[in-house]
């Protein structure tokens, strides 16, 4: 019998305690997160993101990312045995010492110790580089590929707005790093050389070093909509502008589109998935309409890319219904990272339910644990997202059972699929 009752006055069922406790016990595979490396002294780790979002122009912060969010206090209590009723500047200073002490005790085992607290078995670490404290089997690497599709002079794109200016400065730095790893100081003269000496070489290096996917946060840099461009057109644009100033926007877009599909195809060949940020993102200039997952459809419909597994990170909010329609493509998946942090379980549960009613094998649990602020580090955001993401899943399953859509046994099965089995099959863990 279903152990759910209706929350007084809301008409919405309470989560079944039985399902919730089962969901809470499943050691999860977190499809997307940014764990921070243990550093005892010297400069802080900045490689948790290729485009750290802490240097952007001010925006109106989502309420869950404000230190006043009561969930932050809960996270502190659970993670650090924090004894107070509020988080004050004085307590932050005190707690910093407390946390430092834990870090000094745990050293390189600290990030994995946090995973235990979060109930996470394996975390996909979306980072520029890994480190001794962030290593398999608990952490699996997802490096960044964006800078590879912007090989030319990016000053025109950087002029779009102040955030893009900061982002393209960072991307130019990343590309320079890929070039120097290839033993080059500038991009080669021909596209052919660029593809082989720089792009494929970087992807193969990533694979060799344990990468399970390549990440694109390209929605921060330009709208989706990657057309199928023939090689000769891409060759022409590349050769015309390899040593010149910024190319015209539309011609550069053709080269970017070609490179995006080239990288996607190479990832398929190398057995790496392609992760794409698919949700409204940070910052006051983020192009929400340009991140509509439906703009990825031509990519997913390309017969030449069917060997590549695409994972739409963050479940496409606000296009959570549109994104569901893409799940029938055999090589397309999604996770609900970040939504698990930004939206309460009562709001996220109907979204998860809708996906589970359509193609449940393609739905993945994830946190997007990220160091947002002094109050909300990757530990706190990971804890909150893990807890709420599980609650939302348990609530979705409760409602489906109450509606007579699934049995109790199927609820257990779906819980395991979302929390780990779907990801295990996708990555071959």
- Chain contacts with Zn ion (rule: CB under 5 A): 368
- 30 or 368: whose CB is closer to Zn ion? 368
Min separation Cβ 334 and Zn ion, Å = 14
Q: Which residue is nearest to Zn ion (CB)?
A: 368
How many helices and strands (H and E) does the chain possess?
17, 8
- 22 or 368: whose CB is closer to Zn ion? 368
- Nearest-angstrom CA–CA distance, 400 and 337: 22
Min separation Cβ 341 and Zn ion, Å = 10
Determine the distance from the C-alpha atom of residue 1 to the mean position of all C-alpha atoms in its chain, rounded to a whole number.
37
Q: Are strands 332-335 and 363-364 parallel, antiparallel or unpaired?
A: parallel
- 107 or 129: whose CB is closer to Zn ion? 129
425, containing H or E segment: helix 422-427
Contacts with 206 (C-beta within 8 Å, 6 or more apart), sequence order: 141, 143, 214, 272
Paired tokens of 1: 């019998």
- 199 or 282: whose CB is closer to Zn ion? 282
**DSSP label at 352?**
H
Min separation Cβ 14 and Zn ion, Å = 31
CA-CA-CA-CA torsion for 255, 331, 396, 219, nearest 10 degrees?
-10
Min separation Cβ 216 and Zn ion, Å = 11
Tell me if 25 sits within 8 A of 423, measured CB to CB.
no
**DSSP label at 376?**
S
Min separation Cβ 32 and Zn ion, Å = 6
Min separation Cβ 237 and Zn ion, Å = 31
Alpha helices, DSSP H only, in 10-109? 17-25, 70-80, 89-106
401, containing H or E segment: helix 378-402
Min separation Cβ 147 and Zn ion, Å = 17
- 53 or 148: whose CB is closer to Zn ion? 53
Short-list 180, 141, 118, 168, CA closest to 37: 141
- 87 or 366: whose CB is closer to Zn ion? 366
Min separation Cβ 401 and Zn ion, Å = 32
Short-list 142, 241, 246, 127, CA closest to 194: 241
- Rounded to 5 degrees, φ, ψ at 11 are 75, 0
- 335 or 368: whose CB is closer to Zn ion? 368
- 168 or 220: whose CB is closer to Zn ion? 220
- 22 or 214: whose CB is closer to Zn ion? 214
Min separation Cβ 34 and Zn ion, Å = 6
Paired tokens of 216: 């694109």
- Nearest-angstrom CA–CA distance, 360 and 341: 21
**DSSP for 159-187, written as a single string:** TT-HHHHHHHHHHHHHHHHHHHHTT-SS-
């Amino acid at each position: 019998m279903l152990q759910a009752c209706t929350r007084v006055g809301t008409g919405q069922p309470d989560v079944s305690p039985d399902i919730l406790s089962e969901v809470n016990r499943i050691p999860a595979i977190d499809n997307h997160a940014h764990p921070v490396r243990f550093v005892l002294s010297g400069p802080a780790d900045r490689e948790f993101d290729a485009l750290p979002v802490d240097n952007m122009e001010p925006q109106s912060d989502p309420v869950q990312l404000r230190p006043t969010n009561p969930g932050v206090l809960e996270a502190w209590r659970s993670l650090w045995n924090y004894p107070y009723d509020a988080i004050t500047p004085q307590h932050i200073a005190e707690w910093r010492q407390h946390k430092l002490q834990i870090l000094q005790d745990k050293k390189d085992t600290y990030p994995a110790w946090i995973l235990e607290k979060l109930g996470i078995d394996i975390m996909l670490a979306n980072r520029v580089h890994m480190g001794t404290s962030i290593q398999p089997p608990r952490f699996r690497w997802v490096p960044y590929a964006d800078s590879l599709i912007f090989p030319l002079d990016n000053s025109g794109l950087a002029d779009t707005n102040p955030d893009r200016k900061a982002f393209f400065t960072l991307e130019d730095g990343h590309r320079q790093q890929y070039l120097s790893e290839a033993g080059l100081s500038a991009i080669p003269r021909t596209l052919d050389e660029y593809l082989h000496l720089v792009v494929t070489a970087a992807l193969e290096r990533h694979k060799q070093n344990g990468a399970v996917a390549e990440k694109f946060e390209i929605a921060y840099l330009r709208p989706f909509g990657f057309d199928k461009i023939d090689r000769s057109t891409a060759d022409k644009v590349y050769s015309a502008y390899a040593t010149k100033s910024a190319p015209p926007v539309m011609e550069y877009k053709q080269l970017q589109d070609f490179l995006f599909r080239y990288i996607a195809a190479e990832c398929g060949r190398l057995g790496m998935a392609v992760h794409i940020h698919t949700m409204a993102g940070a910052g006051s200039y983020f192009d929400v309409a340009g991140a509509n997952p439906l703009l990825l459809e031509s990519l997913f419909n390309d017969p030449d890319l069917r060997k590549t597994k695409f994972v739409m990170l963050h479940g496409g909010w606000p296009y959570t219904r549109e994104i569901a329609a893409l799940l029938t493509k055999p090589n397309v998946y999604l996770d609900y990272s970040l939504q698990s942090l930004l939206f309460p379980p009562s709001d996220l549960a109907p979204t998860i339910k809708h996906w589970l009613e359509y193609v449940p094998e393609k739905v993945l649990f994830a946190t997007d644990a990220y160091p947002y602020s002094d109050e909300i580090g990757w530990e706190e955001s990971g804890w909150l997202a893990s807890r709420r993401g599980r609650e939302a899943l348990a609530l979705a399953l409760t409602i489906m059972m109450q509606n007579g859509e699934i049995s109790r046994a199927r609820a257990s099965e779906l819980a395991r699929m979302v929390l780990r089995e779907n990801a295990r099959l996708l990555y071959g863990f």
